[in-house]
Structure 1
Amino acid sequence: MTDITTPGSNTRLCHVGHDPLAWHGFVNPPVVRGSTVFFPDAETLRTDNQKYTYGTHGTPTTDALCEAIDRLEGAAGTVLVPSGLAAVTLPLLTFLSAGDHVLITDSVYGPTRRFANDVLVRMGIAVEYYDPRIGGGIAALFREETRVVFMESPGSNTFEVQDVPAIAAAAKARGIVTMIDNCWATPLFFRPLDHGVDIVIHAATKYFGGHSDVLMGTISANEATWKRLYRGHMVFGLCVSSDDAWLVLRGLRTMGRRLEVQQATTLEIARWLAGRAEVAQVFHPALESDPGHALWRRDFSGSSSLFSFALRPGFDPARFLNALRIFAMGYSYGGFESLAVQVNLRDRVFRRPEFDQPIIRLQIGLEDVGDLIVDLDQALAAAGDL
């Protein structure tokens, strides 16, 4: 018999973030729109001594989503921002100042690198990229002025799995704040705060929303960093609409079930591609052949819908993409639809031979797996028709 004091992930997703009896029994929370909030008297106005004071500081709808994310992450608090990239930039701007040094994984999301190079460097912050396979050896890169280590695991496009607990422990010993982009795994498959990380970042645009119809980011913090993160969020004036928060909360309810299907379909396709003569390498940490598989098995409880593969010489990536009929070409992931793009690794500091091959990134949606394999099969055939 299941112990209902420790419910499963799908049960939690169905019930976190809202108490129906607090809103007359309605299953979903109301969408509370508004900027101005009334105060009952001058004393309350002077002290801001009421739960809601202005729309940018939160509404019952946005609070419902924050509470749900807190429960899923095991966080002291969560803030909402207008996009996944904003979820990256806000904590970096909050915890870094001129003269500081930040270490960022070389496998980071491209727009994160662009922000670091274009904005942080201009602010007088020393940006250094590290090999995502460094593990606890990252301590050798620490300086007196190192303030933040920014991780992403698995890494964007090439899916290196980092030794997150080792990196977090090394940073904590020096009082360095650790942050991680955890979009790929979601809190269902990996909870970074449980492994010593301070701040967790998600593009709620992706699996949380799940339907490619909303833009949002979430940032969750542990007790040690929550007050400073919350203050930074208030200072920057970042907020989201209650309508968008409601959409993301609705998406959360089915995220577990969607991921179950997407995980199974993705693994079947990844294994099928690994056996194809046209494919040089598949980058997916849940495959036993992947260099990061042991770390993935140790720390993760599942895998999601995003991975990539390298075409062998003589196969044209443009012909492959143009031949696809079910897969569409488009950015983002985590939605119901399958997508394909060619990735660009020219900005990597730590080069590996496989980076010189054409690499295709796939997002696997909710279509039937047989149809997706047929589509990939005919596209691979077209890619070799030179």
Structure 2
Amino acid sequence: MSTKQNQKFEVATQLTKLGRDPAEQFGFVNAPLYKGSTVIYKTMDDLEHRRSRFTYGTAGTPTIANLEDAWTQLSGAAGTVLAPSGLGAVVLALLSTTKAGDHILMPDSVYRPTRNFCNGMLARYGVHTTYYDPMMGAKIEGLVQPETSTIFLEAPGSQTLEVQDVPAIVAVARKHGVKTIIDNTWATPVFFKAHEHGVDLSVEAGTKYLGGHSDILLGLVSANAESWPALRATYDSMAMLPGADDCVLALRGMRTLHLRLKEAERRGLEMAQWLQARPEVSRVLHPAFESCPGHENWKRDFKGASGLFSIILKPGYGQQDLAKMLDGMSIFGMGFSWGGYESLIIPFDCGQYRTVTSWKPEGLALRLQIGLEDVEDLKQDLEQGFARLGSA
């Protein structure tokens, strides 16, 4: 089905059609899995002129192309490239917009591995990073320098869930000829169309909601027409592509992405509201809550909320109390990911590494990923955990 034909449908229908063509697959519903390195050419002339849709395994396979094409259509982009992880996608995007001597702007709330890449490898290659308050909006113009090539956004922010004013920052970037990149993993293109809001490159950790089952590592970068050639050239020069099996699992995950996101939204909101009423909880950090920084931006620009949010406990609890709570959880696991079917909970303290904004919450902070377990069971697990917290 052509892009134009597919775009007339709602997103739930689109997701069932993207990245497959039964007419070219002997009638089978799903596309076959292609694995390989070598591509055979019919003639020497074809070989010398690289006359083939796929020239070598590092240039992609039909399986990889199916996922790239599907994501391009879903995100409304000019093209998509893949990476073996979400961080790999961030790296590809940044390398396609920067060169030695450039300056970039990075939100202080950014995913910590992205910060580490900027402070480490990018710095070694002569790219200077300035961190900015994610809530400064159009005031970011005061930080733009003649050498600024890129403004990076992450909405909502990692762990603390601030929702940036994307249109305002994009307007500043366009005024100064600066590229914009957004980490859109929390919302995915289902809940936030980054390119429709003027963002040049959109990064997604397909490890999370696209995969949906905690069994793959995958990154995706989509680009608008202006930024697509540089992104593709960067990708081709590195051959940093994922395995075909992971692409097949991602395509399978795409079919239920909308259903799982809507269910994650419903469950996440119910759990967040329940936690807000708990005596142990001081406040909830959730973009759909009016108290969350940038809530008005979320309400204006986003079509939904996923199942990841954070809470701040009331003062008085210590690390030993928290360990007693978390070590005894029956359903919630402790792990550094989200977007899968299982519920997760981790403590965090981003005050250790943020450099521009102050993170001094009134109590200990926890990030929760709400999975597909029964909500009442999840409440009971947390209730028992809070009892251990209080008894300690």
Structure 1 length-normalised TM: 0.97
Match of 2:242 among 240, 243, 246: 240
Matches within 5 A, 1:256-295: 256-295=258-297
Alpha-carbon displacement from aligned partner over 1:44-101 (angstroms, at most 9, x marks no partner)? 1121122111011111111111111011100100001100010011121222122110
Matched residue, 1:201: 203
Separation in 2, partners of 1:238, 1:4: 30
CA RMSD between the two structures: 1.4
Gaps of 5+ in 1: none
Post-superposition offset of 1:353 = 5.5
Separation in 2, partners of 1:221, 1:140: 26
Task: Name the SS of the counterpart of 1:78 in structure 2.
Answer: strand
Matches within 5 A, 1:15-26: 15-26=17-28
Matched residue, 2:315: 313
Matched residue, 2:158: 156
* Bigger shift: residues 63-72 or 311-320: 311-320
Percent of aligned pairs with the same residue? 48
Task: Name the SS of the counterpart of 2:152 in structure 1.
Answer: strand
* Bigger shift: residues 236-245 or 159-168: 236-245
Matched residue, 1:71: 73
| CA spacing shift, 1:268–1:63, aligned 2, 3 Å | same
Separation in 1, partners of 2:107, 2:359: 19
Q: Is 1:370 aligned to residue 376 of structure 2?
A: yes
| CA spacing shift, 1:36–1:28, aligned 2, 3 Å | same
Alpha-carbon displacement from aligned partner over 1:364-383 (angstroms, at most 9, x marks no partner)? 00011111111111111211
Task: Name the SS of the counterpart of 2:227 in structure 1.
Answer: helix
Separation in 1, partners of 2:314, 2:70: 44
Is this contact kept in 2: 1:98–1:125, CA < 8 A? yes
Match of 1:339 among 344, 353, 358: 344
* Bigger shift: residues 4-13 or 133-142: 4-13
Matches within 5 A, 1:1-386: 6-315=8-317, 316-345=321-350, 346-352=352-358, 354-355=360-361, 357-386=363-392
Separation in 1, partners of 2:228, 2:293: 35
Task: Name the SS of the counterpart of 2:63 in structure 1.
Answer: helix
Is this contact kept in 1: 2:93–2:203, CA < 8 A? no
Separation in 2, partners of 1:70, 1:175: 24
| CA spacing shift, 1:357–1:24, aligned 2, 3 Å | same
Is this contact kept in 1: 2:346–2:368, CA < 8 A? yes
Task: Name the SS of the counterpart of 1:144 in structure 2.
Answer: coil
Structure 2 length-normalised TM: 0.95
Separation in 2, partners of 1:114, 1:353: 18
Separation in 2, partners of 1:49, 1:343: 52
Task: Name the SS of the counterpart of 1:34 in structure 2.
Answer: coil
* AA of the residue aligned to 2:326: L
Alpha-carbon displacement from aligned partner over 1:105-157 (angstroms, at most 9, x marks no partner)? 10000110111111111212111100000111111100000000111000000
Post-superposition offset of 1:236 = 1.0
Task: Name the SS of the counterpart of 2:249 in structure 1.
Answer: helix
* Bigger shift: residues 113-122 or 185-194: 113-122
| CA spacing shift, 1:98–1:61, aligned 2, 3 Å | same
Separation in 1, partners of 2:322, 2:145: 42
Is this contact kept in 2: 1:317–1:360, CA < 8 A? no
Alpha-carbon displacement from aligned partner over 1:17-53 (angstroms, at most 9, x marks no partner)? 1111111111110001110001111211121122111
* Bigger shift: residues 285-294 or 31-40: 285-294
| CA spacing shift, 1:98–1:60, aligned 2, 3 Å | same
Is this contact kept in 2: 1:31–1:242, CA < 8 A? yes
Equivalent pairs counted in the alignment come to: 384
Separation in 2, partners of 1:381, 1:68: 47
| CA spacing shift, 1:354–1:275, aligned 2, 3 Å | farther
Separation in 2, partners of 1:140, 1:317: 41
Post-superposition offset of 1:164 = 0.4
Post-superposition offset of 1:163 = 0.3
Alpha-carbon displacement from aligned partner over 1:343-386 (angstroms, at most 9, x marks no partner)? 13111123446446311000000011111111111111211223
Separation in 1, partners of 2:354, 2:391: 31
Is this contact kept in 2: 1:279–1:310, CA < 8 A? yes
| CA spacing shift, 1:338–1:64, aligned 2, 3 Å | same
